[in-house]
Structure 1
Amino acid sequence: MKTKKLVIFGNGDIAQIANDYFTNDSECEVVAFTIDRAFKETDYFLGLPVIPFEELEKEYPPTQFSLFIALSYTNMNRLREKKFMEAKSKGYELVSYISSKASYLSKFSCGDNCFIFEDNTIQPYVKIGDNVTLWSGNHIGHHSIIENHNFISSHVVISGHCTIKPYCFLGVNSTLAHKVTLAEGTLLGAGVVISKDTESNGVYVAPRPIKIDKTSDQIRL
């Protein structure tokens, strides 16, 4: 049974995906979308009304409706943070989605406006702050802390006792060794392995693949 009425901020792919997850795997009924007036191109999205964010509380007041900010990692998550703060200032409850297919043995600390997809393994004593996205298939090791406004893509391994400071992006298949801290604003490319603490606003990428002077049909498998 749906117990909350939800408005989703956004009109792109992530808003579309969020609508599916909340509709099929949550207690929330999605009733409308909202977007800044300057970016409103249509009156309906996925068959639901699109309301200018500047006017949202007139038609969908925060006393009756909750909100979810469905944005990506633009500007190292700062755009999503901006809308998160604006929604809070309007008085909205910002709900989190935690997939029923995520794995965790005990309840963990999770903030507002988190988007936690299927097949995430979240070990005991993990703490997750506000406005964090965990795309599908990650391992979050015991006693690790993911602070506010972070985006973790797919199949990332975060070992035990790690700390992710705000405004980080972790690319597909990136790996953190035990007790590593990612400084604020760290960007990890796909497949990178981090074994020591990073520097603020640092960008870390894996070595480029090497093409050898053979064709695939010359390789005996």
Structure 2
Amino acid sequence: MAKVIIFGVLDTAELAHYYLTHDSADEVVAFTVNREFLKETEFKGLPVVAFEDVETIFPPQEFKFFAPMTGRKMNKNREKIYLEAKAKGYGFISYISSKATLFNNQIGENCFILEDNTIQPFTTIGNNVVLWSGNHIGHHGQIKDHVFFTSHVVLSGHCVIESYCFFGVNSTIRDYLHIAEGTLVAMSASVTKATEPWGVYMGNPAEKRPIPSHKVY
């Protein structure tokens, strides 16, 4: 059992607190946010402290860290906090739902894997990966660091997913594909061929689309 500090006080942090409290042996002891967003000193009955000071209040030798953040800016925000907490000396937990189906898969740290995910044999998952509920992750694949799957994504077998990818709800990826770094797969898109780095893919079959000039991922 680890004593855990959660980064954030918004919906995802609240969900993480619920899951860890009701479906893990770990104990949440505090929350932390960047000082500029520190509006309240308590959340869910637990202290909230400035991230800039967290290691002096909750020493890394005694506490673990969890940053279950969204995929904003193609997972770069979550990566930033993950790396900064690591630089402070923290180790990380991962949460894997008891209602997920796994087969002795290798899974990295600071992963948030919710209910009804099926991760088939011989697929590995890197660090700082989010799998929201209800995804099918096919066999003999590799998901690298800082990736976000929303819900009901079908990833077929033998796929390699590079870092910083994002998969929208109900998207589908055919087998044996290489999904390049920073690929954004839109909701309900069907990817049938390898992608290019930092491309946005929409449609069925999915095609690369230009990023609108006003849009920041």
1:128-168 Cα deviation digits (max 9, x unpaired) = 00000000000000011000000000000000000110101
Coordinate RMSD, CA, aligned: 0.8
CA shift at 1:206, angstroms? 2.1
- Counterparts of 1:97 and 1:205 in 2: how far apart (Å)? 31
SS across alignment from 1:49: strand
Q: Given the alignment, which residue of 195, 198, 202 partners 1:198?
A: 195
- How many aligned positions are there? 204
Q: What corresponds to 1:56 in structure 2?
A: 54
CA shift at 1:60, angstroms? 0.5
1:92-136 Cα deviation digits (max 9, x unpaired) = 0111000000012x2111001000000000100010000000000
- Counterparts of 2:44 and 2:72 in 1: how far apart (Å)? 23
- Counterparts of 1:4 and 1:189 in 2: how far apart (Å)? 37
8 Å contact 2:150–2:167 — kept in the other structure? yes
Q: Given the alignment, which residue of 30, 36, 39 partners 1:38?
A: 36
Question: Which has more radius of gyration?
Answer: 1
Alignment of 1:133-152 (within 5 A): 133-152=130-149
TM-score by length of 2: 0.92
SS across alignment from 1:198: coil
CA shift at 1:194, angstroms? 0.4
8 Å contact 2:109–2:128 — kept in the other structure? yes
Matched, 1:88 2:86: yes
Q: What corresponds to 1:183 in structure 2?
A: 180
Give the percent of matched residue pairs that are identical in Structure 1 and Structure 2.
52
Q: Given the alignment, which residue of 139, 147, 153 partners 1:156?
A: 153
SS across alignment from 2:65: strand
- Counterparts of 2:28 and 2:44 in 1: how far apart (Å)? 11
CA shift at 1:63, angstroms? 0.6
Which runs of 5 or more residues in structure 1 are unaligned? 208-221
- Counterparts of 2:96 and 2:133 in 1: how far apart (Å)? 11
SS across alignment from 2:36: helix
SS across alignment from 2:81: helix
TM-score by length of 1: 0.91
